[in-house]
Structure 1
């Protein structure tokens, strides 16, 4: 039975929703043995967000019922509204009749009772997986070509229809407030909106017979004009049409509703020598850039260089992934000089990526890209492990930088606290620097974690203090030990009276709270002497030492 299940399920992807961490880890281990990919969510609300992002890829949803924020059955209700055919298995300790009946009404495929036995798991999962396989085989023609809800050709059919060698124009239209509309009118009615928009887009004056429209994503339409359209004329037409659509009323179930759709459009052109894959990629990037810039309509031109940027991101993502696998994420260390004792007493560790040929890259090249993936977490975990190892080897105090996202990441918090509990003799040498420029809002959750860190003896620093989000309340609420004054205030402090006044205020306020001050970007003697004169406790910068791979013990 197990071999049979594995042979059927190994290509399928699943989402698992469970609030109990221990049960979640056990089930992840089990599900990973049978399925290609397992997405994890801690409650129904997060499960719904994951489904919005990966719904097209998820074959089966496994979910608990009782969870905070949103329970499993409420999550399933919303998902079933969008995807009535979605396979769902409820795994719950609540085997009462009420939950069972509600599950049946929602069209749940199987109901497993905790603790789940191996026989129960294999038997019931095999039935669901078999249904999926048989359903795909019997309805393959329809399922791969049409969107069930709107009847429009889908993304798969789009790629089948695009003929290489032919020129054309791609118009990618997104409904930015799709989920807002769905919450208001229901997903069924929102999909009626999409069909209405598709109908209106056929009225483009670019030879209607040459237009094809596809449901590209849940909230997107792809309009294909099977020839290259004049960009200026197309932009005028699309601008007029977008304005009309956003004002239009839609007749649904006896009521007239304003469409109220917030639309964004990206346009790309495929020439004879180009490929459709590149053109689709152009349209996607243009659309995303338009959303970021707050533009309603952006038409591709060579100056945008969006494809070059995408290719560069892909190259760097591959470099980062390989560097993590091959232990080429390394640390450099910059000295922090004690202005009173006139010696180096601490180091800040700075992450670097080393290529196979020895070339070393600063975070400028790779950190932002990594933040869009799980690689950011992996890099942070490497930094924590290497910093603790270096402290043990040298005995120096070392600071590590953690972003607000890091502090809210459950896995990073768990690992850091575990390492501190194991290495209690090193904890008082660790300084955790929080980026003040991130904007600290969730004081309660962050505070709880920082207090846990401090119970082991670790200390807290606010980094980049004095930038746009500066708030003296951070120093009090987060009970910090150090304030690192941003380099933009330090580099000209010997000549800029305003910068000097601001730094003096920070130093004075910090002294009253018994918080030590650190000046960053100290790159010359004049700056260093000014800082000593006004009572800054520590200095850091190229004047006192550049970051290097080795510490001077």
Structure 2
């Protein structure tokens, strides 16, 4: 005869499980022998379903009773499976249990008896709890993270809309966190963020919610809050952070916060509107004074401007997708012989109705909404294609400040020039003076890279930013284009004449070519010729045109 193996109870004991049979009509709960030890109670305390249920923590998940009594399923003869997790109280502590079983119906179709297994899952539950913590809470401050803050905000707004109540949202920004980081380092900055969170939490009501919105910002959802109460709460938080320095490993650090707030649904009815308008209010508070509070107020002009930005964004994206961006060509001529030296290529956008939008209508908005680099890519492609197809053409093209530091733009330029040999020496890249003076070293690096590719480079609108000639020499550009604001009144204004004369004289001493923009008439041209200006551009010479004028001119005179 084969050796007898261990019985079921022994197997269950060895793997840390216990089995039960629950007779619901008599409430008798029968166990395998190891159940009491597994649960940490006396066997007499779990002999009935009611006694067992009294030890299940109310807040600790769904109990076995819930799973069976509230089941919407019906027993078709094979029983109905269930699996629940809950906290089981043993003494002053609680353990976590996974309860897996199947209940069976009696003749009346209602649950009659059940049997199953229980297993302790303390470690697994703790791991799941930590994952939930990470999913919903910011690890540094212990407050809600942004996604979960948005969920809470959405639920709160939905509730106040449904019940015709009011709530508030405060966006709290730690001031000058970058300076703290530079002065003390990341560790101290994180201490400051954590301590600010504690101070804010201590001054909120128990029913309010706090979350970390971003690196230096917190969002506070104030339930059942009127506009007046919103202002009172904000002032309380401002004082709570400001009144005492925060103690850190590097010593006491003085910290302030600036707050923007909005009331819902009075001024916002969705999470997107709440956040957007709180950001507007925060910007307004910072504009007024750091360490202050501002509540959102409707602004007709601002809202109209945003609608226009949305419309313009759609127009730009549509023009890019539909290939409706084109070039206009404005001649730049030699002062002496008036022969064309090169053409400045300017962007034009064909609208769906056939109208043409100029660059000054599109570029400022493209810069605001972050589309200017995409526009620059397209214009660069068009200019290089024009140069490649017309060997007589020499052309210049403006580049926005954003593109000068964009690696993708550089890759595009280098690739186009490699593919189209003979184009680089006929291409002039223009950057504005205001962009150049933001960071002279960055601008100098840009100039060097452009010239290494074989192109020339011009600095546009020179004089508007008051760049010193020392910096001009350091930049190493080839051409200086004098800002038209100083040229257009050169005949009538002695100050403008003196300024332009000085610019031309000093620029020539540096060995650079000069272009005078906005030349209106022959009198201005004569004055500029007397000063020794190399090139002229403006209404006198000819305005930008989408036609290709060099096609109608001979190869010897088309582009110098």
TM over 0.5: yes
Counterpart position of 1:429: 426
SS at match of 1:424: coil
1:265 maps onto 2:259 in alignment: yes
Q: Give the match's secondary structure for 1:400.
A: strand
Shift of 1:173: 0.8
Q: Is the 8 A contact 2:203 2:236 kept in 1?
A: no
Q: Which residue of 1 aligns with 2:167?
A: 168
Mapping of 1:265-284 within 5 angstroms? 265-272=259-266, 274-276=268-270, 277-284=272-279
Q: Does 1:195 align with 2:186?
A: no
2:152 aligns to what?
158
Shift of 1:195: 2.2
Rounded Cα–Cα distance in structure 2 between residues aligned with 1:139 and 1:260: 34
Residues 471-528 of structure 1 show CA distances to partners (whole Å, capped at 9, x for unaligned) of 2124322332211001121121111111110100011112223322111122344433
Question: Where does structure 2 lack aligned partners over 5 or more consecutive residues?
Answer: 1-124, 551-560
Q: Is the 8 A contact 2:168 2:222 kept in 1?
A: yes
Distance 1:293 1:540 in 2: 43
Partners of 2:199 and 2:240 within 8 A in 1? no
**Structure 1 residue ranges without an equivalent (≥5):** 1-133, 203-207
Separation in 2, partners of 1:218, 1:448: 32
Distance 1:248 1:242 in 2: 11
Which residue of structure 1 aligns with residue 47 of structure 2? none
Pair 1:147–1:421, CA change in 2 (3 A): closer
CA distance in 1, matches of 2:350, 2:482: 29
Is the alpha carbon distance of 1:291 and 1:357 closer, same or farther for their aligned partners in structure 2, counting shifts above 3 Å?
farther
Q: Secondary structure at the match of 2:549?
A: coil
Whether the 8 Å CA contact 2:145–2:212 is kept in 1: the answer is yes
The match for 1:440 is: 437
Structure 1 contact 345–397 (Cα < 8 Å) conserved: yes
Per the alignment, do residues 213 and 448 of structure 1 end up closer, same or farther by CA in structure 2, a change over 3 Å counting? Answer: closer
Structure of higher CA gyration radius: 2
- Structure 2: how far apart are the matches of 1:229 and 1:283? 15
Following TM superposition, by how much is the alpha carbon of 1:327 offset from its aligned partner in structure 2, in angstroms? 1.8
Question: Mapping of 1:105-504 within 5 angstroms?
Answer: 142-155=133-146, 156=148, 157-164=151-158, 165=161, 166-178=165-177, 181=180, 183=185, 185-186=187-188, 189-202=191-204, 208=205, 211-227=208-224, 229-230=226-227, 235=231, 238-239=234-235, 241-243=237-239, 245-250=241-246, 258-272=252-266, 274-276=268-270, 277-291=272-286, 295=290, 296-303=292-299, 305-371=301-367, 375-394=371-390, 395-440=392-437, 443=440, 446-447=443-444, 449-455=446-452, 457-504=454-501
Say if 1:447 and 1:230 are closer, same or farther in 2 by CA, change over 3 A: closer
TM-score (norm 2): 0.64
Kindly provide the CA deviation profile for residues 20-66 of structure 1, in whole angstroms up to 9, marking residues without a partner as x.
Answer: xxxxxxxxxxxxxxxxxxxxxxxxxxxxxxxxxxxxxxxxxxxxxxx
1:194-225 CA distances to partner (integer Å, 9 max, x unpaired)? 322323542xxxxx466433322232122233
Distance 2:421 2:383 in 1: 14
Distance 1:442 1:503, change over 3 A: same
Contact 1:463/1:483 (<8 A) preserved: yes
CA 1:145–1:308 in 2, change beyond 3 Å: closer, same or farther? farther
**Cα displacement (A) at 1:290:** 4.3
Q: Give the SS at the match of 1:149.
A: coil
Separation (CA, whole Å) in 1 of partners of 2:200 and 2:237:
12
Deviation at 1:240, TM superposition (A): 6.6
CA 1:550–1:141: 2 relative to 1, 3 Å: same
The CA deviation at 1:404 is 4.3
| Partners of 2:247 and 2:450 in 1: CA distance | 58
TM-score of the superposed pair, with normalisation by structure 1: 0.65
Tell me, in whole angstroms, the C-alpha distance in 2 between the residues paired with 1:137 and 1:319.
Answer: 48
Shift of 1:538: 1.7
Evaluate the alpha carbon distance shift between residue 167 and residue 194 of structure 1 in structure 2; reply closer, same or farther with a 3 A threshold. same
* C-alpha distance in 2 between matches for 1:375 and 1:351: 14
Q: Which consecutive aligned stretches of 4+ in structure 1 deviate over 6 angstroms post-superposition?
A: 134-140
Provide the secondary structure at the position in 2 that maps to 1:495: coil
In structure 2, the CA distance between the partners of 1:526 and 1:310, relative to structure 1 (3 Å rule), is: same
**SS at structure 1 position matched to 2:171:** strand
**Alignment-derived partner of residue 547 in structure 2:** 550
Change (3 A) 1:547 1:351: same
2:509 aligned to which of 512, 528, 548: 512
CA distance in 1, matches of 2:231, 2:540: 55
Alignment RMSD (CA, Å):
3.4
